[in-house]
């Protein structure tokens, strides 16, 4: 140790020389095995840098969200900063949906339930699902305004515009065997006793059929409601006379107004006459009766279900 202390510089040189010698030996040994290691790396399979499908979809979705800025949406009556929507009412004062009916008679809740634009003034005349019926028609007909297959019946668009009603002059009063008593509403004309095939005197109607029928009234009493069928020999219009009841003449005419596709169509139908409505013109309707405030029709495919058509209000 004394020699190292006295010959410090020589000792440092010797240590450095020894270190360099060791490094040279290691480099020589490593160079000898370089070819073998390089050959192994060259033959190794290339790394798979593809992203698995599952992760690729997640990354694509995340990228789409980053590129699409978020949008504020409104649902219900609560706003972002205001607890409830406010409007200016007809009186010029602030109003809310809770206390103001914006589109009478349709409730605000109904418009909001189906996501209709309640703030637009013509929302009731809009056709949200393009089925030919306005939102107001859908509300009135209790159907879904945003589903095309849900809508009121087409007769919903039919209205009775006017009518010409006449009372039929003949009344079926009674029957005995195959003989039928027919009275006239004019008491001066005597009763006629006729059979099927006979012509009613003073008219152009003949008897073409008889059907015996009975029904129970509201008290359970069995009532004779037999029917006698008459036919006009020229026009072949038919009239059904219920026993002891008056009826309207087949000459009675109903003038209808039908709105479809944004246009109004007026047409006249005689009692017992048939007609069709767009867009389902394969369905035939029949006019049964015309009253002061409505017309009674049926769908010939469902003859037992009577349909009342209201008269247009002035």
Tens-digit pLDDT profile for residues 285-300: 999 988 888 999 999 9
Residues of the chain with pLDDT under 50: 72, 74, 80
User: What is the value of pTM for the model shown?
Assistant: 0.50
Q: What is the 3-state secondary structure (H, E, C) of the chain?
A: CHHHHHCHHHHHHHHHHHHHHHHHHHHHHHHHCHHHHHHHHHCCCCCCCCCCHHHHHHHHHHHHHHHCCCCCCCCCCCCCCCCCCEEECCCCCEEECCCCCCECCECHHHHHHCCCCCCCCCCCCCCCCCCCCCHHHHHHCCCCCCCCCCCCCHHHHEEEEEEECCECCEEEEEEECCEEEEEECCCCCCCEEECCCCECCCCCEEEEEEECCEEECCCCCEEECCEEEEEECCCCCEEEEECCCCCECCCCEEEEEEEECCEEEEEEEECCCEEECCCCCCCEEEEEEECCCEEEEEECCEEEEEEEEEECCC
Structure confidence at residue 61 (pLDDT):
80
User: What is the structure's pLDDT at 58?
Assistant: 76
pLDDT single digits (tens) 28-71: 676 666 566 656 555 656 666 565 555 667 777 877 777 776 65
């Amino acid at each position: 140790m004394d020699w190292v202390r006295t010959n410090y510089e020589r000792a440092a040189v010797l240590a450095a020389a020894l270190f360099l010698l060791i490094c040279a030996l290691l480099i020589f040994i490593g160079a000898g095995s370089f070819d073998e290691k390089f050959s192994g790396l060259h033959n190794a399979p290339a790394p798979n840098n593809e992203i698995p499908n599952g992760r690729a979809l997640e990354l694509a979705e995340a990228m789409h969200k980053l590129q699409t800025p978020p949008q504020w949406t409104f649902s219900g009556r609560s706003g972002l900063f205001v607890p409830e929507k406010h409007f200016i009412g007809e009186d010029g004062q602030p109003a809310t949906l809770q206390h103001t009916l914006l589109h009478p008679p349709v409730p605000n809740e109904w418009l909001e339930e189906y996501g209709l634009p309640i703030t637009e003034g013509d929302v009731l005349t809009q056709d949200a699902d393009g089925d030919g019926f306005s939102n107001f028609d859908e509300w009135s007909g209790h159907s879904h305004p945003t589903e095309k297959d849900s809508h009121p019946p087409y007769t919903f668009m039919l209205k009775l515009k006017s009518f010409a009603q006449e009372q039929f002059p003949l009344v079926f009063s009674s029957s005995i065997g195959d003989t039928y008593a027919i009275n006239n509403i004019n008491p001066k004309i005597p009763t006629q006793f006729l059979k099927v095939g006979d012509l009613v005197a003073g008219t152009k109607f003949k008897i073409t059929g008889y059907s015996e029928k009975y029904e129970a009234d509201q008290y359970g009493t069995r009532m004779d409601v037999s029917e006698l069928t008459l036919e006009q020999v020229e026009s072949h219009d038919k009239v059904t006379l219920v026993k002891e009841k008056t009826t309207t003449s087949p000459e009675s005419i109903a003038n209808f107004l039908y709105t479809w596709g944004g246009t109004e169509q007026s047409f006249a139908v005689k009692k017992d006459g048939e007609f069709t409505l767009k867009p389902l013109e394969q369905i035939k309707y029949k006019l049964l009766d015309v009253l002061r405030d409505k017309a009674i029709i049926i769908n010939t495919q469902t003859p037992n279900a009577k349909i009342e058509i209201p008269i247009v209000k002035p």
